[in-house]
Amino acid sequence: MHDLQITPLGYAMGAEVTGLDLTKPLDDLTRRRVYDAWLKHVVLVFPGNAHLTPEQHIAFSRNFGELDTHESQAPETLLEGNREILVVSNKPRAGRPSQTRNTGRNWHTDLSYSLRPAKAAALLCKEKPAVGGDTMWANLTMAYETLSPKMQAIIADMEAVHDVTLVRGLNQRDPALVADMRRRNPPVVHPMVRVHPETGRKSLLAGERVSHILGLTEDESQALLGFLNQHATSPEFVFRHRWRVGDIVLWDNRCTCHVALPDFDQTQPRHMLRCSMKGEAEGRLAEAGPAATKEQMIQTVASLS
C-alpha cells in the first residue's frame, strides 16, 4: 500500500488512483483507503488496466458492493459467460449492430428507470477512438446544496417518474429488443431528493430520463425539471474524463449523473465493459399516467364551475 497515490483531478469531483495492482485482491487496509477516497472524490480513475480479465474486473468491482446481474438489460448486451458485465460498444456483435452503440447519450443516473438504481459502476476502457468519446459526470450533491433554501424546501417531498423510453437513441435499436427493455422496465417513481446512505448528504436525482414530477401539470413539471437539469449540469459541478485505453473509472451513482459524448468518429471503435453494483434504495412502479396538461386542468376547473 506504500505505493498508493490518490491525486485530485477536479474541483467538483474526480481523483486518479495509482500504485495498485488490480489483478490481485485488495487487503482490508487498502480497500478501506480506496473506499474512503471514493466517497470523498465521487469519481475515481484507475489507469493502466487494459490487461484485466473479466474475472479480475468483476473481483475488483466487488470491493464496492454486490454486483448487479443486469436483469433490467437485454441478454444480448451482456458479456458471454459473465452476466455481471455489460458491453458498451459500437463494434458489431454476432454480425449485427451493437445494441449499446449509443448508450448514455443523455444526462442520466444509471438504472434510474429501474426499481433499484445502481449504487456504483466500474467502467473499463478496452478500445477508444483517436480523439473524443469522453464522459462527463455532474456532482448532484453540490447541485442540491447550492440551491436556495426555498427551492430545497419546494422539492423536498417531490417524486418524479423515470422512464426507459427517454433513453436517447433507444428507437434506433432492434424493435424487439426495445420492446423487451420496456417490458423489463415499466415507468418507476423515485424521490427527487436522495439522502446518501453513507455520507448522509442530500443530492438531486435529476437527469433527462425523468418524464414528469408527480402532482404538477405538464407545463409546471417541464419548467421545474428544465431548471433543475440545467442547474445540475452547470460546468462548475462537472468532471470530464478523457479516456485512455486501460482506464477503469469508478463512480458513485447515488450522487451523480453522467453523459457519454458522441464527439468522435463513429467508424472508430469505442469498446467498454461495465460492472454495476446494486443500489440500496428502491423505488416503486408508477401508477398514474403522464402529468396533466394545461388544457386538461382548464377542463377540470370548468366542469366544477
Q: What residues are annotated to the active site?
A: 108, 110, 258, 274
Q: How far is CA 32 from CA 6, 26, 29, 142, 193, in A?
A: 13, 9, 5, 24, 28
Strands 135-139 and 256-260: antiparallel
**Which of helix, strand or coil describes residue 67?**
strand
Contact 246, 272 (CB under 8 A): no
For residue 244, which amino acid is it?
R
Q: Are 122 and 249 in contact (CB under 8 A)?
A: yes
Q: Where are the alpha helices (DSSP H) in the chain?
A: 28-41, 54-61, 140-145, 149-155, 175-184, 218-232, 294-304
CA 199-205-208 angle, to 5 degrees, is 150
246 C-beta neighbours (distance < 10 Å), count: 16
Residues 213, 221: Cα–Cα separation, whole Å? 5
Rounded to whole angstroms, the Cα distance separating 199 from 189 reads 23
The Cα 117–Cα 280 span in angstroms is: 8
What gap in Å lies between CA 290 and CA 248, rounded to an integer?
Answer: 39
Cell readout for 98 is 451493437
Residue 67 CA to residue 74 CA, distance in Å, equals 17
Q: Closest by alpha carbon to 105, among 167, 165, 163?
A: 167
Instruction: Report whether 201 contacts 145 (CB < 8 A).
Output: yes
